[in-house]
Structure 1
Amino acid sequence: MAEKLIKVVPGLNEETYQLVERLWWSYKYETCPNYGHLEAETDLSRDVLNKHLDTFKKLGFVKTVRGLMTEDGEVAGSGFSLTSQDAFHLIELAMYRYNYNDQPYGRTDDYVPRVLKVGEYEYRLKLNGDSPS
């Protein structure tokens, strides 16, 4: 049974960032990487991947996709995917936050757009030097 998506922006660390970045790209290009691909592309062990995937599954961000086929029609097994467009957008926002919130010298204005549209939501980012609204 699929978990219901909990609409939060997850906090990421170096390991979870590698994983969600790969899942974000795979959702965008409609692929479902399996453990082998995730291990090769993230340099994380299967145990670490499993721990993080289980957490993201419980939050409703990731699902296991079974019965995948190659372009040649051969059985490819199972893989992992983000669960929905909402999950895709929340992960995208988490990646922005991970990459740009703690830039040195207060130079976030060089890296972050002022407005992020995440699904039906719009986030206005307050940057250093902005006056309170």
Structure 2
Amino acid sequence: MAMFLLYVGGARDFALIALGDTGYIERQFGHDGAVYFSDYPPVLRVVWMLNVVGGLTAPVLLILRSRGAFPTAVVATLAQALLLAVTFAALDRWRMLGPELAWFDIGIGVLTAAFAAYVWWWRRRIRHAPPQSPQIGG
């Protein structure tokens, strides 16, 4: 559930930035952040959206014990990794948004990957668990 709550914050950022709420962007990310997000490539917005939707959906699917939890967690992880790689390499993210936010986002990427690994482990454990016999009179 912590993963879901973490991504609720990401969804809020995504929505307010996508809507172009410059007041929010400047309060959260400063003037350089407003410049950074004003020219954010549309294809990266789609990748970011995949990350946020996957990050919100995968924990819910895990709670529902759905087989879709693992592929959804993998999509969120790959989208986050792609965002980090492209924005650090091509958009000068470290300088534009600062090291604190950069390390925070790297941490989100690590947690997202760890969550995907946990879902993989859970899925294997469930698949290889011995069948449970019904309890009678207990």
TM-score (norm 2): 0.33
**Of the two, which has the highest radius of gyration?**
2
More strand by share: 1
TM-score (norm 1): 0.34
More helix by share: 2
